[in-house]
Amino acid sequence: MNTNSKIERELLTKPGDTILETIEYLKMSQAELAERMGKTPGKINDMISGKAPISVNTAMQLEKVLGIDMQFWLNREMHYREKLARIEQEEFLEQCIDWAKEQPIKDLQKLGYIKSSKLGTEMVEECLHFYGVATPVQWNSVYVDTYVHTDFRKSNANTSLLSSMAAWLRIGELKVRDERLPNYDKDAFKVILENLKSIVEEQPEDFASKLKSMCATAGVAVIYSQSLSKAPISGAARWIGGTPVIQITDRYKTNDHFWFTFYHEAGHILLHGKKDVFIEDFEGVENDQKKENEANDFARDWLLPDSFLELVEGDIDERLVRKIARKFLTHPAIVVGRLHHLKKMPYHFGNDFKSKINLNHLI
């Protein structure tokens, strides 16, 4: 307990102190007060010590017995309980400062979620408000225990990583609140995935805005957020309040990675359950490998099916890459990415086909 809280506790007076002063003035004992109010001495003692609050009925009885208006007693009780709660809250927040130390404060300040510049109880309170939880215990339950495997959680070295992951997920939740979407339509979403292929192929400058608005018509929220410094996550798929959410970053900065991540997460939405949560590229999370493979296959089949390999013979050059892209109505970067992944060509070859992307204007 810091000095200020200790002083405030010492200066705080209970309504019971006023009752004692009043009955002393009236030359009345606590036993007589109990008898006149129809209460046991124990009940009177609890009220005077502050263990039991002054209820409306008790205030009415005090008015009759002590001649002081019931509203006075109710106001006295309310102000006392409010002040006591604030003191206890301040003491609690002091105990949470170590938890706040592990939060990605600089990232959250940069994004405008945290205003405090100094580590202390005010910053702790802002962090709890940001996450929408009452205490670090609930924070741990909502954002860590549910997703992260036990061994990773137990290591103190990973505490700041877990906090960054939790903050990234929370940013997605807050952004979803600003979305106004119709009910999810699975069939409409499939049609949109097909229509999006022309955007993948052409890679216009406003591709991210078009992707977001098209998915929104089917009730799917596409959320763009920064990959926080200690949580190098590329994307996630989950359901929030009945809405399917694809949260995605530009971590890898090129269009081939972006589109594969998007279609991978779309696969999770279409193929897997509403209770499933998939967080990509975070080492502490163990996604269901079978479902991950299914999502990988889904993304591959939509962007560039394996049949493209029938065209891959002999040396691979830029002309062949363009030919495959035209035939399968996709972007050359997608072809290059697949060939790199399959180790059909060296990683230094074909990177000129890739488009640099930046989502900062939408974050």
Same domain, yes or no: 17 and 142: no
- Measured between alpha carbons, how far is 325 from 331 in angstroms, rounded to an integer? 6
Query: Looking at the predicted structure, is the pLDDT value of residue 266 above 90?
Result: yes
- In this predicted model, what pLDDT tens digit does every residue of 158-187 receive, in sequence order? 888 999 999 999 999 999 999 999 999 999
Same domain, yes or no: 138 and 200: no
Domain closes at, from 139, 158, 177:
177
Q: Which residues contact 83 (CB under 8 A, 6 or more apart)?
A: 8, 12
Same domain, yes or no: 249 and 139: no
Query: Looking at the predicted structure, is the pLDDT value of residue 3 above 70?
Result: no
Same domain, yes or no: 206 and 346: yes
Q: Which range has the worst mean pLDDT, 4-18, 22-36, 44-58, 190-204? A: 4-18
Same domain, yes or no: 255 and 339: yes
Same domain, yes or no: 191 and 169: no
Identify whether the C-beta of residue 301 lies closer than 8 Å to the C-beta of residue 226.
no
DSSP 227: -
Domain closes at, from 177, 204, 225:
177
Same domain, yes or no: 206 and 104: no
CATH label of the domain that carries residue 46:
1.10.260.40
Same domain, yes or no: 91 and 79: yes
Same domain, yes or no: 300 and 210: yes
Same domain, yes or no: 117 and 213: no
Handedness of CA 282, 288, 294, 297 (dihedral sign): positive
pLDDT classification of 205: cutoffs 50, 70, 90: very high
In the chain, the number of structural domains is 3
The residue segments making up the domain with residue 143 are 98-177
Q: Quote the percentage of the chain above a pLDDT of 70.
A: 99
In this prediction, residue 96 carries a pLDDT of 96
In this prediction, residue 360 carries a pLDDT of 86
In this prediction, residue 1 carries a pLDDT of 58
Same domain, yes or no: 114 and 87: no
pLDDT classification of 252: cutoffs 50, 70, 90: confident
CB burial string 231-241: b at 16+ within 10 A, e below: bbbbbbbbbbe
Global confidence as pTM: 0.85
Query: Looking at the predicted structure, is the pLDDT value of residue 234 above 80?
Result: yes
Task: State the chain's mean pLDDT as an integer.
Answer: 93
- In this predicted model, what pLDDT tens digit does every residue of 99-155 receive, in sequence order? 999 999 999 999 999 999 999 999 999 999 999 999 999 999 999 988 888 778 878
Same domain, yes or no: 204 and 322: yes
